[in-house]
Amino acid sequence: MPMRLHREGTPTIALVSIFGVLASLAAWLWLPAAAFLAIALIMAAVLALVLWFFRLPRRASVPAEDLIVSPCDGKVVVVEQVHEDEHFKDKRIQVSIFMSPLNVHVNYHPISGTTTFRHYHPGKYLVAWHPKSSTHNERTTVVVRHPVHGEVLIRQIAGALARRICTYPQPGEAVVQGSELGFIKFGSRVDLYLPLDAQVMVHIGDVVQGAASVIARYAR
């Protein structure tokens, strides 16, 4: 099955492809054969990395009302109780997932419900695993309200390499667990803020898959 590419990658892929063709053509015209071959191989490798970054895997996610699934691919770097200051202004369980440049960078809705809040914050570009990245980096906060279990906050955080956060749902929009929430270009992180009575199913160091891995279970 051919690899699918995410629409957010179209401008970058086109730019890298054009630059690669021009650089290789210039090397072919004005440089020795060995130099041309080296440059052509480097350009091909760069294009392959960009295509790999913007890959869009097929995820068969079946919505489960009592589960909160991972909003992205990556490694769990934080599981702790914190005070969430932007929206809830009370204590929540924070689960943070770091995405390296080699991870799929699509973000998914962890629950089904209605989007109740969305806010973009410009900011710094600290490395995504830095504790202050949640409040100092460029980020977008989205809150989804489940009709039975209440709200979950999802925060997309830019990393040291990221310069663009894409977020799709608007306030008032109904969303489905496992559907696309957005995309973050290059290294980044996603934070989840869950109810205190949620049963967290992951630990620091666990590798998770967006729309597939279970992060937590609602209290019954």
Residues annotated as part of the active site: 188
Neighbour tally for 101: CB within 10 Å: 15
Neighbour tally for 85: CB within 10 Å: 9
Residue 129 tokens read as 């695993």
Cα(89)–Cα(151) distance, integer angstroms: 13
Which stretches of 9-70 are assigned E, i.e. beta strand?
67-69
Give the residue among 73, 54, 87 at the shortest CA–CA distance from 155. Answer: 87
Neighbour tally for 44: CB within 10 Å: 12
Instruction: Find the helix or strand (DSSP H, E) in which 8 lies.
Output: none
Cα(99)–Cα(160) distance, integer angstroms: 12
- CA 115 from chain centre, in angstroms, equals 18
Largest interatomic CA distance in the chain: 70
Cα(185)–Cα(54) distance, integer angstroms: 9
Cα(104)–Cα(209) distance, integer angstroms: 9
